[in-house]
Structure 1
């Protein structure tokens, strides 16, 4: 019987000590990078909204990772440019163990409006789009890890 690619990856990862943890962490990191890229493409690179809303980068900078609970949409935009820094998010991912849940969420109080739509503006569902890529991300990361290990 021929195994599916997914089954082959699972068998391989379980047989190589530490491979599951590496694939897990690198896959979540890649998911974060995909979310960030899609946010830039769908929001920050798009033409400005007719409302004239000033883009500060705060939505992008409000991404938080947690091992305990989903981050809440509670932070107001400070109205000044805010640089994006995924360092803290990557630290949480790096410190996570296989099987733990990693919650990724934006804390800008208007993130849901941007994602789903509001006030006549079209939604930009970058989180949903990145989430749909999860199986592909895991497959690609597993292939990269296998190639790095010479397997």
Structure 2
């Protein structure tokens, strides 16, 4: 009887850890998509420069994009960067376009957009949405 109880407790703890990990990954995926969708859509470069990473942020790029270029958001690569994330890991969302601070915080000639901060303000709702998705069986399953 004691062995069954111990096995049940271990099984519960393992499932809880897996679900917590899934909520972490799903929360970051939803946050990433919220930031990308909130970014201004001129050439697409700023949106494509939003990157997810684990362990360390990705620095600003030193040079501006090529004029007239076409840029696409690589959602799959960003999701892959955090695919093995666990609860307790340090995850980063970086915006690497060299001009991103000017767009986000504004200049003397351009109003601030504050798009990442607006997404950050939604963080509690994003986590609640991720938890609900995992609870319903729609999480990453990783």
Structure-2-length-normalised TM-score: 0.78
Residue matched to 1:24:
24
Residue matched to 2:58:
71
1:35, 1:127 within 8 Å by CA — same for their partners in 2?
Answer: yes
Query: Which SS does the other structure have where 2:136 is aligned?
Result: helix
Structure-1-length-normalised TM-score: 0.74
Question: RMSD of the TM alignment (CA)?
Answer: 2.2
Any unmatched runs of 5+ in structure 2? 1-11
When the two structures are aligned, how many residues end up with a matched partner?
125
Deviation at 1:135, TM superposition (A): 1.0
Residue matched to 1:62:
49
1:67, 1:100 within 8 Å by CA — same for their partners in 2?
Answer: yes
Pick closer, same or farther for the CA change 1:17–1:68 going to 2, 3 Å. Answer: closer
Residue matched to 2:83:
94
Which protein is bigger by CA-based radius of gyration?
Answer: 2
Residue matched to 1:128:
117
Pick closer, same or farther for the CA change 1:122–1:13 going to 2, 3 Å. Answer: farther
CA–CA distance in 1 between the matches of 2:110 and 2:28? 30
Q: Which runs of 4+ in 1 moved over 2 A?
A: 12-17
